[in-house]
Every structure is written in structure tokens, then in C-alpha cells.
Chains A and B, each alone.
Chain A
Amino acid sequence: MIDVRGVTKRFKDNVAVDDLNFEVPTGVVTGFLGPNGSGKSTTMRIIMGLDHADQGEAVINGTPYSKLAQPLREVGALLEAKAIHPGRTAFNHLWFLAQSNGIPRRRVHDVIELVGLDQVANRRVGKFSLGMGQRLGIAAALLGDPGTLLFDEPINGLDPEGILWVRNLLKGLASEGRTVFVSSHLMSEMALTADHLVVIGRGRLISTGSVGDFIATNAGQYVRVRTPRPDELEGLLEAQGAQIRREGDGSLSVSNLSAEQIGITSGNAGIFLYELSPQSASLEDAFMEMTRDSVEYHGHRLDGATATTNGK
């Protein structure tokens, strides 16, 4: 179990992680979700003892990382792919790590085989593709056969087959009773892989709980409505308890009211409808909705308008 207790981390005047509290349970895959720059990698580096927290602490099974005598046997991590000397071979990279923690040479060969790099084990890492680098990073994480694993965006750079492989690997590791903590900014990927979620935005905890609960609360239904008289219709629907969001293209997203009820209301009022289509919000939408106010870097639409209203 990983326990993050009140961790705060500042870089100059930028607060990257802000009084963050959460637990990562054992035996399931826990997804760590947040938009770009929300502090996922920083939190993972703090758990690994690489960055020092300004306040609070992170412990693994009750012990801070820096107090572990042979840490690779207890915690394995893939933090950045290719944070590896390009002139060293895959085997030698794993071999020096193994030596430092008293891990037998046999195990180096085993993990190389496990991640499917046996053909290139003696090639210099500088010649590796992004996906091969990612696999080598996973091999390094698994080297000490640890009970706790951290992966920072492990599917980056992997092809569909590789993504499926990682997904099954993570689930397999968790089912063996390990603690598996995986960051991603893709909610859809986490819905397939994770059992538990920790969602952060701007370094703060937004939500934590099981994926099932997250889907039940967030993947709501809504009806997309287009009409030449949106203001009038909006008032009428709201009177019936609907929640309405005005979209950028002028359409209305109506929730809490069925398509039938909307149709009857507009018919009675003599308001024409150009579109009346039930939609189901994807988890991705729910995630974006949830972190909307905490997104640090907003995209801009090509017509020059900001994509969301919360520009910095």
C-alpha cells in the first residue's frame, strides 16, 4: 500500500502538488488521472524519494522510500522511458541495477524475456524505439520482483498490441496481490485497466474511489437540442428541473429530462426543434468536466476562440 499524506511540493512559486492525500490499495490496479501538468509525475517522484516534498510524506507499506535497504526488491518504477544511458546495452543497464540490490543475474535474463527484448538485449539503448525503451523501463521496474509498482504513462509510444500487453500485465501483477499505481491522462484507458482511481487537478485531489462508482456518478445521459429559439426553450425546460449547458455551436445539452419530455414541452410552446438526440457522456467527457477548472494548459480552437472559458 502506498500512502500519500499531506504532500505539498513547490517549484519556485509554482505549487505542483498541493496538500495531496490519498491511499493506493493493494491487489488492484489504481489509475492516477489528471490533465497535463497536474502533478502526477511529481507525486510519483516524491513517492520514490527522488524529489523532496516541502510538506507531508509518502510511505510504502509504512516506510518512506529512503529507508528501504534494498528498495528494488520492494518497489519498482517506470518513471520516464529512455532515462537510460544511450551507450549502454539493455542487459548492462539492468545488470548494474541488479548488482546494486543483490539481485541474481538469472533474474536479469528472466525480465528481459518477460518484456520480449531477448533479441536486442545486447544492443545499445540509443538505438531502441520508444516502445522498446518503454519495455526496458518495465523490465527495470519488475527486476526485483517487487510488491509495489509505479508506472508513469506506461503506454506512451506503444502500438495497440503493446497497449494490450501492458493492460494485461498490470492486471496480472495486481491479481498476484501487488500494489499497482499507473498514471495516465486517458480516462478511457483507465476505465479498461484500473479498478480504483485517484483523480487530481492542479496538484489537488479531485476524487478517489472505485472505477465503478466513478462511472455510475459521472457517465450521465443528456440530450442534445438545437432550436432557433434557445433562450425561450431554456427557460421552459429549466422550469421543469432540467440542467442545461449552452455549447459553443449554439446547441443545448440538456440533462435531467428525457427526449420525450423535451419534445412535448417545445411542441406545446410551438418552438421548432432542428435536433433532438439523446447522448451518453463518455468517461472522457466526465473526466474533462471534472478537471475543467483545473486544466493548466488549454487548447485553442483554430478559429481563435479559446476551447474552454477558463483561459489563464
Chain B
Amino acid sequence: MAMNTSSATVWSSTLATTRPQRTSGLVRAEWTKMRTVRSTVWTLLAMAVITLGIAALAASTIASRWNTFSVVRRLTFDPTSMSLRGLLFSQLIIGVLGVLVMSAEYGTGTIRATLAAEPRRARVLIAKSAVFFVLAAVVGEVLAFGGFLIGQSLLTSPVPHATLTQPGVLRAVTGGGLVIAVLGLFALGLATIIRHSAGAITAYVGVLLVVPIILQTLPSSFSQPILKFMPFTISNAMTSVASQGSSAFSPWVGFAILVGYAIVSLAIGGWLLAKRDA
């Protein structure tokens, strides 16, 4: 070892300095985190199997029972909505994934490594939300279109089937996929607020399914105005070709309300993330 008799050695890093990386490095880091845990892959796989499976099952059941259907039922049959019914399960599963993407950071302590690497916490949440939104939107669209195509291909004459060029069909299919992505973000926001997997999943399932079920047991004069705001009602209106009348908002108004939920949950989550100790 060379003896350094002069005063003190001054440290200088051997790593080449780069321009301070802006968002791109953070986004890539979040994507690496997402793709390198098994839960992401398994959850998305389960989502695909269930959603496409339900589309196939529902279509073949209807095709085999068509002859027994009443005239009214035949006239109001919405083949698009039928083939997108499995998206309800996608909504549940994407919520679980959205929760895990954030709560696992807290559960495992990775959050401290994450925030040491980027102390500007709002940026961490924005990068994570952006990456997750893109992932959920791609998967949501693939499953919506996949479910639609599988479902329609199994509806053979005399059962009517839908095509993407019919009015309202493309909106229903694309919108169904987008609803998945936005609900996933809403769940991610809930997890940022609650920080525990079980608690955040409970809250999400509560909003998605439990509250609507409870509301339906109450007098409709009371429950109807609230039900209109539930994600369940909004996503039903989005995936139906026919109008739902006064019982639901029009598809894109409803969608804007869902986006509002996601933004509010992420904004509260982001505020708490910045304020709390990690």
C-alpha cells in the first residue's frame, strides 16, 4: 500500500458522471421493479385466463340456448356487452396488482431503497403510476379486444354477433380496456394511502363490489343517485352498446368520473407519501 504522507486524500468518484437523469431513469427503474417479481406475471396471467375464459364460456352458453330465449330477450341481446363480461374479474385482479405494486414496497422495506435513490417522492409516485398505467392499459385493451373477438366468433347464426364497425361497439371495447387501467391506478393510489396490502385490497373490493351490493338492497330512490357514481355502474355503461337511460351516466362522463377517483386517490397518496416518514 502506498503511503500517503500528504494531508488527506480527497475522494473523487471513478464513475463517469452523466447528465442528471430526469424522468427516463426513474421510469426504467419502475419498469424493472414491476417485471422482476413473480406476482406481476402470475396476476396478469390469471387475469387473461379468467377474462378470455368467461368470454368463451358466456358466448358458447348463449349460442347453445338461443332457441329457448324469449323474443324480448333476443331483441335486447347485446353481444358486445356479453363478450366483455369477464372484464369485471379483470377489474378485481388489476386492483390487486395495483395495490401490490405499491404495498409490496412497504411490506418488504424496498420503499427505503426507492426513496433513497429518488428523494423527490412525488416523482417516484408519478413514474410508478405512469409505468403501471401503460402496462394495465395494454393488458386491458388486449383482453377487451381478445374477449370481444373470441366471444363474437362463438356466436354463430342464428345468434346475432357484433362487429367493430357497428355504432358504439368500438367505444365499448376500447373503453372496457381503459376502465381497467384507470381502476388499476385508483387501487395504486389507495395502496399509497393505506400502505398495507390487505387493507388496500379490502378498500378496493369494497368500493368495486361490496358498496354496490349493499346499495341495491336499499330503496332505489335513495340508492339510485349513489349507484350512478359506482365504478360498477360506470363500467357497465361503458361496455354496453345500448344506452342505460337515466340509471347511469353516459359512457365518457362516467369515465371522466373514474379518472377523477384515480387522480384524487393518487393525489392524497402523494401528499401522504411526501409528508410521512418512510
Same assembly: yes
Pick the contact of B18: A50, A102, A147, A179 (CB < 8 A): A102
Verify if A70 is at the interface (C-beta below 8 Å from B): yes
A87 contacts which chain B residues (CB < 8 A)?
A: 37-39
Q: Are B110 and A84 within 8 A (Cβ)?
A: yes
Cα of A190 to Cα of B110 in the assembled complex, Å: 29
Number of interface residues of B (CB under 8 A): 42
Verify if B117 is at the interface (C-beta below 8 Å from A): yes
B28 contacts which chain A residues (CB < 8 A)?
A: 99-100
A75 contacts which chain B residues (CB < 8 A)?
A: 116
Given that A26-B11, A176-B9, A178-B11 are contacting pairs, would A79 and B37 also be in contact in the complex, using a CB cutoff of 8 Å?
no
Verify if A83 is at the interface (C-beta below 8 Å from B): yes
Verify if A101 is at the interface (C-beta below 8 Å from B): yes
B112 contacts which chain A residues (CB < 8 A)?
A: 45, 48, 50, 79-80, 83
Verify if A86 is at the interface (C-beta below 8 Å from B): yes
Pick the contact of A97: B38, B113, B277 (CB < 8 A): B113
Q: Are A177 and B108 within 8 A (Cβ)?
A: no
B278 contacts which chain A residues (CB < 8 A)?
A: 45, 50-51
Q: Are A27 and B115 within 8 A (Cβ)?
A: no
Cα of A146 to Cα of B14 in the assembled complex, Å: 9
Q: Are A145 and B277 within 8 A (Cβ)?
A: no
Q: Are A69 and B20 within 8 A (Cβ)?
A: yes
Interface residues of B in 9-35 (CB under 8 A from A): 9-21, 25-26, 28-30, 32-33
User: In angstroms, how far is the closest chain B Cβ from the Cβ of A147?
Assistant: 4
Cα of A69 to Cα of B23 in the assembled complex, Å: 11
A83 contacts which chain B residues (CB < 8 A)?
A: 108-110, 112-113
Cα of A77 to Cα of B117 in the assembled complex, Å: 10
Q: Are B113 and A89 within 8 A (Cβ)?
A: no
User: Chain A: which residue is nearest B105 at the CB level?
Assistant: A85
Pick the contact of B117: A51, A52, A72, A177 (CB < 8 A): A72
Given that A50-B277, A83-B110 are contacting pairs, would A100 and B25 also be in contact in the complex, using a CB cutoff of 8 Å?
yes
Among A97, A144, A146, max chain B CB count under 10 A is at A97
Given that A66-B120, A140-B113 are contacting pairs, would A86 and B15 also be in contact in the complex, using a CB cutoff of 8 Å?
no
Q: Are B32 and A26 within 8 A (Cβ)?
A: no
Cα of A13 to Cα of B35 in the assembled complex, Å: 42
B160 contacts which chain A residues (CB < 8 A)?
A: none
Verify if A123 is at the interface (C-beta below 8 Å from B): no
Q: Chain A binding site: helix, strand, loop or mixed by DSSP? A: loop
User: In angstroms, how far is the closest chain A Cβ from the Cβ of B36?
Assistant: 4
User: Chain A: which residue is nearest B16 at the CB level?
Assistant: A104
Q: Are B109 and A82 within 8 A (Cβ)?
A: yes
User: In angstroms, how far is the closest chain B Cβ from the Cβ of A138?
Assistant: 13
User: In angstroms, how far is the closest chain A Cβ from the Cβ of B16?
Assistant: 8
B38 contacts which chain A residues (CB < 8 A)?
A: 87
B30 contacts which chain A residues (CB < 8 A)?
A: 96
Verify if B214 is at the interface (C-beta below 8 Å from A): no
Verify if B119 is at the interface (C-beta below 8 Å from A): yes
Verify if A73 is at the interface (C-beta below 8 Å from B): yes
Cα of A75 to Cα of B113 in the assembled complex, Å: 12
Verify if A220 is at the interface (C-beta below 8 Å from B): no
Q: Are A77 and B108 within 8 A (Cβ)?
A: no
User: In angstroms, how far is the closest chain A Cβ from the Cβ of B241?
Assistant: 42
User: In angstroms, how far is the closest chain B Cβ from the Cβ of A174?
Assistant: 9
User: Chain B: which residue is nearest A107 at the CB level?
Assistant: B15
- What 1/0 mask marks residues of chain A from 147 to 177 whose CB sits below 8 Å from any chain B CB? 1000000000000000000000000000111
A66 contacts which chain B residues (CB < 8 A)?
A: 119-120
Q: Are A71 and B119 within 8 A (Cβ)?
A: yes
Pick the contact of A86: B108, B113, B117, B119 (CB < 8 A): B108
| 9 interchain residue pairs of minimum CB distance | A83-B109, A177-B11, A177-B9, A100-B29, A102-B21, A96-B32, A92-B36, A69-B20, A99-B29
A contact set with B: CB distance below 8 Å: 26-27, 45, 48-52, 65-73, 75, 77, 79-80, 82-89, 92-93, 95-97, 99-104, 107, 140, 144-147, 175-179
7 examples of A-B residue contacts, CB within 8 angstroms? A45-B112, A50-B277, A71-B117, A73-B15, A84-B109, A96-B32, A178-B11
B contact set with A: CB distance below 8 Å: 8-21, 25-26, 28-30, 32-33, 36-39, 104-105, 108-110, 112-120, 275, 277-278
